[in-house]
Amino acid sequence: MKFETLLYETNDRVATITLNRPQHLNAITAPMPRELRRAVELADADAGVHVIVLQGAGKGFCGGYDLVAYAEAEGEIPGNQEMPWDPTEDYAMMSRNTDDFMALWRSRKPTICKIHGAAAAGGSDIALCCDMIIMAEDARIGYPPTRVWGVPSTMMWVYRLGIERAKRMLFTGDLITGKEAEALGLILKAVPLAALDAEVDKLCARIKGVPRNQLMMCKLTVNQVYENMGLHTTQMFANFFDGVARHSPEGLWFRQRAQAVGFKQAVKERDSGEPIAEGVSKSL
> Exposed e or buried b for every residue in 66-78, given b needs 16+ CB within 10 A?
bbbebbbeeeeee
Instruction: List, run by run, the mean pLDDT of 10-residue segments along the chain (284 residues).
Output: 95 98 95 98 98 98 84 66 83 95 98 98 98 98 96 97 98 98 98 98 98 98 97 96 92 88 91 76 50
Please, what are the domains in the chain? 6-244 (3.90.226.10), 248-284 (no CATH)
- Backbone phi, psi, residue 261, to 5°: -125, 0
Predicted pLDDT of residue 274: 87
> What is the DSSP annotation of 162-231?
-HHHHHHHHHH--EEEHHHHHHHTSSSEEE-GGGHHHHHHHHHHHHTTS-HHHHHHHHHHHHHHHHHTTH
C-alpha distances in Å from residue 246, one per residue of 67, 81, 155, 243, 279 = 12, 9, 17, 5, 16
Predicted pLDDT of residue 73: 65
Ordered strands of the 111-115 beta sheet: 6-11, 14-19, 51-56, 111-115, 132-136, 189-191
What angle (nearest 5°) sits at the alpha carbon of residue 166, between those of residues 275 and 264? 45
Predicted pLDDT of residue 75: 67
Could you tell me which residues are beta bridge partners of residue 136? 191
Give me the sign of the Cα torsion angle 213, 219, 222, 225. negative
